[in-house]
Amino acid sequence: MEDNALSKEHLINHIEDWKKRILDLYSNIGEWVKDDRQYSVKTTRTVRMYEEYMQKFDIEPQNLPAADILKNGKLILSVKPFGLWVTGANGRLDILSEKGSLILSDTSDRFQKPQWRIFSPKNRGKGIVFTKDYLLGLLKQK
Amino acid sequence: MNIFGELSKLYDEIDTLYAAKEFDARARGFARKEAEWRRKRELNDHAYFLFMFTRLEDRIREQSSKLIDRKQTALRNWKARSVWDILPKEKDSAGIHFRNRVALLTEKGSTDYNLIMAYYKLRNTIAHGGDFITPISIPYVLNDMERLHKVLKS
């Protein structure tokens, strides 16, 4: 983002939008897994957000929810916000597991409908659209 | 495998290991350990960013110097050559600012020019004592740097 196009108000709006997109994403994830009783989603734990722009414009740190996906009560995946103002994405989260990390990025333009894509070490290019089928496939591997 | 391919492989190995440890700490409820591993991943991202940027910077210096040298040698008309004659052709010369070297290889104000300048600004923030607080997504950066390394030619 160009510094001269920024204002505190703009940044706050962007943060609020980010929070909403995250919550909507977790809501979708909850919907996708609800038919299989083995799985449950918890969003009780948070991650601190205090990026460079926030410090520059004196915006208070924010606590963003992380989503833990459990299988029969055991944590198997954790979806954690990584950053909003990240090069190449309109926000990024990490999907962590015992095998490492996948990148979940919103590739939409600012304030547009989210387009979530998964990027893995073997697929750094265009990524894969993050869908219910993709998530269920990932969960089956755990 | 080129340097970016090697860096990518190495980065992935380390980030995968650290991410798995971050997850394990989270699964065990060790919040402080989890935060430590997350911080290690962030610092690792910054380190690899700096390493990759040095490769790109070297490429820009090399190609811009080649271009200047070629123009100084090839242009017979002194009026056409004069603007090149005042530029230093040595790759490591401080007599030409980095942004001007970039402007010799890609149009000033273009997407690639602006992208390189954004990375240059970030590189300076980190290298000159910044707080390592900017989240850097290495896979995107890697793609950008690899592409720029290929397209920036004299």
In the predicted structure, residue A59 carries a pLDDT above the cut 90? yes
CB spacing of B20 vs A103 below 8 angstroms = no
Residues B106, B116 contacting (CB under 8 angstroms): yes
Q: Which residues in chain B have Cβ-Cβ distances shorter than 8 Å to A124?
A: 8, 139, 142-143
The CA distance from A35 to the nearest CA of chain B, in Å, is: 24
DSSP H helical segments within B1-151, as ranges?
A: 3-28, 31-74, 78-85, 98-105, 111-127, 138-151
What pLDDT, on the 0 to 100 scale, is given for residue A2? 52
Q: What Å distances lie between residue A80 and A26, A91, B82, CA to CA?
A: 11, 11, 57
| pTM (two decimals) | 0.87
What distance in Å separates the CA atoms of residue A139 and residue B109, rounded to the nearest whole number? 45
In the predicted structure, residue B132 carries a pLDDT above the cut 90? no
Confidence of residue B126 (pLDDT cuts 50, 70, 90): confident
Pairing between β-strand A116-120 and β-strand A100-106 as defined by DSSP bridges: antiparallel
